[in-house]
Amino acid sequence: MMHSIHGRLLLVASLVLVAFLGLGALALDRAFRESMDSAIRDRLQQQIYALLGAAAEDELGRMRLPEHLPNPRLASPDSGLYAAVVGESGEYLWRSRSSLGRDIGFSRQLAPGAHQFDRKQHGPEDLYILNFAVAWINDAGKELGYTLSIAENTEAMTAQVDAFRARLFYWLGGVSLLLLIVQGLVLGWGLKPLRSVAADLRRVELGEIEVIGGAHPKELQGLISNINMLIQSGRASRDRYRNSLGDLAHSLKTPLTLLRGSAESDASDKMRQTVNEQVARMDEIVQHQLRRAAAATVTVPGTSFKVAPVVERLRETLEKVYREKGIDCQTAIDPAVSFYGEQSDLMEFMGNLLDNAFKYGKKRVRVTGGRLAERHGSGQGMRLIIEDDGPGIAAAKRAEVLNRGVRIDQRQPGQGIGLSVAKDIIGLYKGSLEIAASELGGASISITFNGDSYLAS
């Protein structure tokens, strides 16, 4: 996910959304609890006023609470609402019938005008308690202090808070899920042009289109223009290289022909042999450099070609050339395997490797090929293996034989540059060439193209 712009944006936006909704949920929960606390305090304050309204005076003018109160909850045991009055320096104590048999733990008498609101745990019950102190003047004009206390069980409030939290969780959870879905869709829609450009680039690499076209957002126009300019510039450079090298080869062809003709007519046998050998070598070197320079321009994406038909054509040609040896060449190449590059390059390195196999093999040559199983690649990689039953290549000589001009078997004709040409071309496509021992008894040449680096060459 962290390797994708879409994944990064979605992750960051999701974290911000979760943090925002989480903090919002905490703020709403706290505001609701504070609102409930305030509502309970107001309700208990009203109960205090109701007690004061129900109070009467005795014959001395002192405050006395009646035995029966208007609120039926204060008269019912275990109702969850409890009241008490303490006054006259502790000489007067009144408790509601609902609190009989319970030690509510009301506060001691407070100074007149003081009030106290608290939440306490008393036994199995969690209570809100409000203590309110008043001054009462008796008939003798003496000020008497009374503290009225009212307590209510928090069970109802807790049930309301739990119900609110459940609704809040379901609503915010649903909204979060909906926002995440919408967010994913919006990000997907916003990044769609980038995916379209990436798909077009892949099509350019595969040779399906030449440049990136179509309508794109203005933010990508500069990038697309530069990419198209780079592709066109690369193709133009490739054409200039090929044309220049073609001109070079053509200009050297006539002098080499004249030199060979002069040697045939005027020189001695030894001189004629030497000149012919060197002219042939010069001609092969020119052709090698021409092919190598042309292959060096594969940085521009080209078209793709099926490998099996090319190998079949080469096999048929080489079987005619080496008819006298009677080579049995077997090919087993997956028809779906494609080479992403110039067909001439494919024919060049496969032709050189197959020619060596036919040249050094005794009776058997085998060519196999298939897609490269890649764990994280594009799936466009491939591996080709050319085997023969010839003398093979010693392990100590396998690295040396890939160098230009090195020939292990001096008895066979050639200049020792075939493997070098093949290695150079394969290397330009970010591929690898390895030499090993074949099950047939001779050499095994393995060519591997990794999908990602192969298509990015």
Query: Of the given ranges (27-31, 49-53, 160-164), which has the lowest mean pLDDT?
Result: 160-164
Query: How many Cβ atoms from other residues are within 10 Å of residue 400's Cβ?
Result: 11
- Residue 382 backbone phi and psi in degrees, to 5: -155, 160
* Residue 201 scores a pLDDT above 50: yes
- In the Cβ-directed half-sphere of 311, how many Cα atoms lie within 13 Å? 24
Per-residue pLDDT averaged across 177-199, rounded? 82
Give whole-number Cα distances, 150 to 38, 107, 129, 130, in Å: 15, 10, 6, 5
Q: What is the 3-state secondary structure (H, E, C) of 194-257?
A: HHHHHHHHHHHHCCCCCCCCCCCCHHHHHHHHHHHHHHHHHHHHHHHHHHHHHHHHHHHHHHHH
* Percent of the chain clearing pLDDT 90 (strictly above): 7
Query: How many Cβ atoms from other residues are within 10 Å of residue 190's Cβ?
Result: 13
Query: Of the given ranges (67-71, 134-138, 167-171, 246-250), which has the lowest mean pLDDT?
Result: 246-250
Domain ranges of the chain: 36-160, 303-455
Q: How far is it, in rounded angstroms, from Cα 52 to Cα 83?
A: 12
- Residue 384's pLDDT is what? 93
Note the CATH number of domain 36-160: 3.30.450
* Residue 215 scores a pLDDT above 70: yes
Q: Which residue has the higher pLDDT, 308 or 72?
A: 308
* Residue 126 scores a pLDDT above 60: yes
- Residue 195's pLDDT is what? 78
Which range of 112-116, 139-143, 344-348, 440-444 scores highest in mean pLDDT? It is 440-444
Mean pLDDT in the chain?
Answer: 77
Per-residue pLDDT averaged across 163-189, rounded? 83
* Residue 116 scores a pLDDT above 50: yes
Report pLDDT digits (tens) over 379-435.
568 899 999 998 888 888 888 777 754 444 444 444 445 677 788 888 888 888 999
- Residue 368's pLDDT is what? 92
* Residue 93 scores a pLDDT above 90: no
Length of the chain: 457
Structure token digits, residue 126: 């969690």
Q: How far is it, in rounded angstroms, from Cα 314 to Cα 369?
A: 15
pLDDT band at 254 (very low <50, low <70, confident <90, very high): low
- Residue 416's pLDDT is what? 45
Report pLDDT digits (tens) over 332-377.
999 988 888 778 788 888 888 999 899 889 899 999 999 876 544 4
Architecture of the domain whose range is 303-455 = 2-Layer Sandwich (3.30)
- Residue 105's pLDDT is what? 65
pTM over cut 0.75: no
Q: How far is it, in rounded angstroms, from Cα 172 to Cα 188?
A: 24
- Residue 408's pLDDT is what? 47
Report pLDDT digits (tens) over 300-332.
445 678 899 999 999 998 888 888 888 899 999
Residue pair 384/370 in contact (Cβ under 8 Å)? The answer is no
